[in-house]
Amino acid sequence: MANKNLGLLGEQFVTDESTYLNRRGLLKALGFGGAMAAMPAQAGVFDLFGGDDEAKSPIFQRKPLAYKTQHPKPDLILTPEQKVMTHNNFYEFGTAKTDPANNGQGMQVEPWTLKVEGEVGKPGTVDVWQWMQKAGLEERIYRMRCVEAWSMVIPWIGFELGKFLQQFEPTSRAKYVAFETLYDPEQFPGQKSRRLGGGIDYPYVEGLRMDEAMHPLTLLSVGLYGKTLAPQNGAPIRLVVPWKYGFKGIKSIVKIKLVEKMPPTTWNLLASGEYGFYANVNPAVDHPRWSQATERFIGAGALSVKRQPTLPFNGYGEQVASLYTGMDLKKFY
């Protein structure tokens, strides 16, 4: 691991000297100056600055997509594509931020079938790559807030989950939607080893209440920055729920099941006192081990990594707060 990091950082320093010099200046200012020589082996220290740039340039071929752009465009500063693609959580590929980009490049994402079943009049199987052609894709620029208190702004491409689900004719008994990630230990080293996979019992599962699933902000994403998703971002299809913590955005989905009862969710199964089913972004409810009042926004260049206040519902309160009227959000975290 240390050797691999050394090599990658070496390469990066040669190709992008200005970034390196800036970063060194910043490190000095923060009191890391003397430790520079030891830095390359300590990816964790670089993680302070957004964990950017450590991963190898992706070899995975992303295809350009045709999509409608957003009008008006939200007034948000985008996280650079390179950072969206190299600072990831996808424990199936390992728990370090750069593991998904480094270990995901050989993932077989085509063809891909997505099953929709459960409380629906017309269960079905979707060929995701065919669906991409006819879905009427649109760009959605959303904030993303990870429960670990870092955030990004990502130009997703996708379609509304609600509109997608309608074609399967949900029954009146459908109260929740359960999602499942591919289970394939041959492709996911984290599913082979509990240590690499962060102690999660795979497959990764997630869920939404029916009204959350049908909300027009809720997206099934098949791309970002104009192209199809890379494995590390959840290729070929993943969920994006912008007012909830990032872990709700389950990646590489193979099954969607409409159900009557609240389905189990991976992080809640792992630590129910720390991660609830709802997981709405809420600066007023701290994680038991850290504050959720602020976040580290990952922007362009090491110097733009800045702390900013976290917004209720991640800034989407106007659109979604009404889904939770009368609910105690401290209890239903």
- Contact positions vs ligand MTE (CB under 6 A): 88-92, 146, 181, 204, 233-234, 246-247, 249-251
Q: How far apart are CA 1 and CA 332, in angstroms?
A: 40
What is the DSSP code string of 63-123? PB---BPPSSPP--PPPPHHHHTTS---GGG-SSTTHHHHH-TT---SS-EEEEEESBSS-
- Check residue 277 and report its DSSP letter: S
Number of Cβ within a 10 Å radius of residue 57: 13
Taking CB within 5 to 8 Å according to partner kind, which of Mo ion, ligand MTE, none is near residue 298?
none
C-beta of 210 vs 285, nearer to Mo ion: 285
Helices (H), 17-79: 17-29, 43-47
C-beta of 91 vs 243, nearer to ligand MTE: 91
C-beta of 213 vs 250, nearer to ligand MTE: 250
Annotated binding-site ranges:
88, 91-92, 146, 181, 233, 238, 249-251
Least distance to ligand MTE from the beta carbon of 288, Å?
17
Taking CB within 5 to 8 Å according to partner kind, which of Mo ion, ligand MTE, none is near residue 278?
none
Site size toward Mo ion, by CB under 5 A: 4
Query: Is 65 among the residues that bind Mo ion (CB under 5 A)?
Result: no
* Residue count of the chain: 333
Q: How far apart are CA 291 and CA 289, in angstroms?
A: 7
Least distance to ligand MTE from the beta carbon of 322, Å?
25
Query: Is 246 among the residues that bind Mo ion (CB under 5 A)?
Result: yes
The interface mask with Mo ion, positions 134-153, x = CB under 5 A, is ------------x-------
Q: For residue 231, what are its two tokens?
A: 């494995």
Annotated binding-site ranges for Mo-molybdopterin:
88, 91-92, 146, 181, 233, 238, 249-251
Compute CA 151 distance to the chain's CA centroid, rounded to the nearest angstrom: 10
Distances (CA, A) of 188 to 2, 94, 110: 22, 8, 16
Taking CB within 5 to 8 Å according to partner kind, which of Mo ion, ligand MTE, none is near residue 235?
none
Of the candidates 210, 231, 217, the one whose C-alpha atom is nearest the C-alpha of residue 93 is: 231
Q: How far apart are CA 239 and CA 213, in angstroms?
A: 10
Taking CB within 5 to 8 Å according to partner kind, which of ligand MTE, Mo ion, none is near residue 310?
none
Least distance to ligand MTE from the beta carbon of 92, Å?
6
Taking CB within 5 to 8 Å according to partner kind, which of Mo ion, ligand MTE, none is near residue 233?
ligand MTE
**Residues near Mo ion (CB under 5 A):** 89, 146, 246-247
